[in-house]
Amino acid sequence: MSRTIVVSAPGSLPWLHNPLHAHKEWRSTLGWKRADDESSADAPRYTAHSNNLYHSLWGKFCRWMAGQSLRLDQVKQAHIEAFLGSLRGRSDAPASVRTMRTYLAEINRVFTHLQAIGVLQSNPAAAVLEQKRTKHETRFETDPPLPLAPAFLEAYAKMAMKMYAEEHAQLRHGWTPARNLALRLIVAECGLKLSEVCKLIPRNVSIKDDGSVVIRSPGHRQVVARTVVGKRRLATALQRWIEKRSELRIVRSRRAAAEGARVSNRLFLGRADVAPTGDLIGGGGLAAARSPIAPHLAERVVTSCVKRTLEELGHQAAFHGPQFVRNAFAARLILSGLNDTDVSDQLGMKTTFTARAIREKLNHGHV
């Protein structure tokens, strides 16, 4: 799989005197290119929206450095670890490992650049990043949430069908019920991460004559690309959604067009009528949709089904998100007799850690 890297033009930016301004100027020069591409002349620039996001991450680190009276050439590994430890999440709890990795990725990117152009002799963030990549610190990894009953996935699928009937009764001519059903089932039937689902495009899906569906997942971050197969129930739901989707007019926001963002053609779409018509090119309306669906909306679609399924089963869980369904899918594979390597391959995982953690929990009589 090709690796994406960033390239920038060398320059004598005042990194040691004004790292915040230097970062902004440097970021405006960056473009994307493939690792096997020898020329970056035609590499598209990052959009202003993306640059603002990265600049906010770096700005927080710079403000922390200023509070510690540090310059970039004085930063050590321990300082970066201390900064990550200072990050807070909800209710003033320590930040999640995902949040730490997000900040750390940009910090490492900057220090890698500074080492390459000779401003610094070493990159103190590299060792920290390697630790975060290899150390399993999240509750999802060490104590994966699982349903109390092995029949959860079947009950979840039945609830998805029930919710489709309810939503369709309310929106006879609407398209969101078909989308929601396909979205809910694809997570349970194939064990895809929601981030993978949101990246799917129509040509990733092939409906077969035998009633099954083949899905070529493009992968996402730590999940590798792979091909998975779904049964008739999922194939029917996807076919219904694809037909509905073909009737929709996909619109773009004016900001995306102004920033030169790529035209998106994702499989799952979000509603356009919730946005002011003036913010959209071509207008909104009930027959209009936006690509892609917002991740938080996709998560809410799946979570609502998880919660109702647990209520119907009379069970409780501290976590109701899509990962709960993915873990249940992995547990079903383990209970069917698959080994940890085969389970990890189905999940697209590069290691067997998650499969082993779920197996250990199952062996302790979780279900």
Torsional sign, CA 63, 66, 67, 73: positive
Check: CB of residue 321 under 8 Å from CB of residue 299: yes
CA distance 58 to 163: 43
Enter the tokens of residue 147.
């349903």
Do 175 and 254 fall into the same domain?
A: yes
Q: pLDDT (tens digit, 9 = 90+) per residue, 318-343? A: 777 888 999 999 999 999 999 999 99
Whether 43 is covered by a domain: the verdict is yes
Enter the tokens of residue 132.
């975060």
- What's residue 317's pLDDT? 75
Query: In terms of pTM, does the model score above 0.85?
Result: no
Whether 70 is covered by a domain: the verdict is yes
Torsional sign, CA 71, 74, 80, 83: negative
Do 63 and 180 fall into the same domain?
A: no
Which residues are registered as beta bridge partners of 215? 205, 228
Do 106 and 221 fall into the same domain?
A: no
Do 125 and 167 fall into the same domain?
A: no
Whether 143 is covered by a domain: the verdict is no
- CATH number, domain of 83, equals 1.10.150.130
Q: Is the peptide bond before 147 cis (omega within 30 degrees of 0)?
A: no
Whether 215 is covered by a domain: the verdict is yes
Do 59 and 184 fall into the same domain?
A: no
Do 163 and 74 fall into the same domain?
A: no
Whether 17 is covered by a domain: the verdict is yes
Do 112 and 246 fall into the same domain?
A: no
SS (H, E, C) the chain: CCCEEEECCCCCCCCCCCHHHHHHHHHCCCEEEECCCCCCCCCCECCHHHHHHHHHHHHHHHHHHHHCCCCHHHCCHHHHHHHHHHCECHHHCECCHHHHHHHHHHHHHHHHHHHHCCCCCCCCHHHHHHHHHHCCCCHHHHCCCCCCCCCHHHHHHHHHHHHHHHHHHHCCCCCHHHHHHHHHHHHHHHCCCHHHHHHCCHHHEEECCCCCEEEEECCECCECCEEEEECHHHHHHHHHHHHHHCCCEEEEEHHHHHCCCCCCCCCCCEECCCCCHHHEECCCCCCEEECCCCHHHHHHHHHHHHHHHHHHHCCCCCCCCHHHHHHHHHHHHHHCCCCHHHHHHHHCECCCHHHHHHHHHHHCCCC
Do 207 and 336 fall into the same domain?
A: yes
| Cα angle value 172/178/180 (rounded, 5°) | 120
Whether 72 is covered by a domain: the verdict is yes
Enter the tokens of residue 236.
């029917």
- Overall number of domains in the chain: 2
- What's residue 43's pLDDT? 66
- What's residue 5's pLDDT? 41
Domain range for 238 is 152-363
Which residues, including other chains, have CB under 8 Å from residue 206's CB and lie 6 or more apart?
213, 214, 215, 216
Do 234 and 332 fall into the same domain?
A: yes
Q: From 135, 160, 177, give the residue that closes a domain.
A: 135
- What's residue 253's pLDDT? 62
Q: From 101, 135, 169, give the residue that closes a domain.
A: 135
Do 84 and 158 fall into the same domain?
A: no
Q: From 104, 135, 166, give the residue that closes a domain.
A: 135
Closest by Cα among 159, 287, 265 to 218: 265
Whether 141 is covered by a domain: the verdict is no
Positions in the chain whose pLDDT score sits under 50: 1-12, 34-38, 40, 137-140, 274-285
Check: CB of residue 212 under 8 Å from CB of residue 232: yes
- CATH number, domain of 354, equals 1.10.443.10
- What's residue 140's pLDDT? 45
- What's residue 61's pLDDT? 97
Do 124 and 85 fall into the same domain?
A: yes
Task: Write b or e for each residue in 75-87: b if 16 or more Cβ atoms lie within 10 A of its Cβ, otherwise e.
Answer: beeebbbebbeeb
Whether 145 is covered by a domain: the verdict is no
- What's residue 19's pLDDT? 95
Do 105 and 43 fall into the same domain?
A: yes
Torsional sign, CA 170, 172, 176, 181: positive
Closest by Cα among 360, 323, 294, 358 to 96: 323
